Amino acid sequence: MAKQNIFDNETFFENYQKLREREVNANNLFEIPERLKMLPDVKGLKILDLGCGSGEECVEYIKMGAKAVVGVDISEKMLEVAKEKNSDPAITYLCMPMEDIGSIEGEFDLAVSSLALHYIEDFKGVVKNVGRLLKKGGEFIFSQEHPMVTCHSGTAGSRWTRDENGNKIHVNISNYGKEGERETSWFVDNVKIYHRMFSTVINDLAEGGFAVERLAEPLPSDELLEKYPEYYDLFHKPDFLLVKARKV
């Protein structure tokens, strides 16, 4: 069965690049700072970056002192940008689906993944392969769309309940307990993501030989809300779930 490769869709790719180039976006304000706080000292480490995209994080890990980074992504377009703009002798880029990392040789100290795992159907299989590739005691740090977000994607009805003035009162949650594929529209139609309950994420990690050490659901600070009040929405539903787990 062919794996989804939405980032090689020209329209999706161009619009995603424009979004990431904006200084003010949820990745920069919430996901990246929280993920960096979870990282260990990476000096001398060999790192596996799953869903590395255009390689910005791979280069950052090298700047932080990592010994070597292997970046994996299914998108040829993303890896073309990575090799052009974010190359380094210590970085190896591999074009493959994340589900196929079982073919990678070697051993890693740290595996990371930024907002890619919700595109993957076989999360349990990826966890198993990450466990095989990590040294004992190695860490797996990843972010994904929050289950409160993925559950509603592609379902009927508005995500929000509003008052008579159009102000958001609360978020609508639907089909949380029905796991599996969702189709949604983001830049283009028919973008596939996969919803998993919070408990499934944690249990798959435990069954894969990992101990969960930290969870995070980033929320805006008072100072950030003063500048960007629209991010008050996150108090109704966090956009991201971040997990730090250790191979035992």
Residues 6+ apart with CB under 8 A from 190: 183
Measured between alpha carbons, how far is 96 from 73 in angstroms, rounded to an integer? 6
Under 8 Å between Cβ of 110 and 90: no
H or E segment to which residue 202 belongs? helix 198-207
Task: Give the per-residue pLDDT at 93.
Answer: 97
The pTM (predicted TM-score) of the whole model is: 0.89
Measured between alpha carbons, how far is 27 from 87 in angstroms, rounded to an integer? 22
DSSP state letters, 77-107: HHHHHHHHHS--TTEEEEES-GGGGGG--S-
CATH class assigned to 6-146+196-247: alpha beta
Task: Give the per-residue pLDDT at 174.
Answer: 86
Residue 211, pLDDT > 80, answer yes
For residue range 217-243, what is the model confidence (pLDDT) as tens digits?
A: 999 999 999 999 999 999 999 999 999
User: In this structure, what token pair is assigned to residue 59?
Assistant: 């280069």
Domain ranges of the chain: 6-146+196-247
Q: Is the dihedral of CA 42, 242, 127, 55 positive or negative?
A: negative
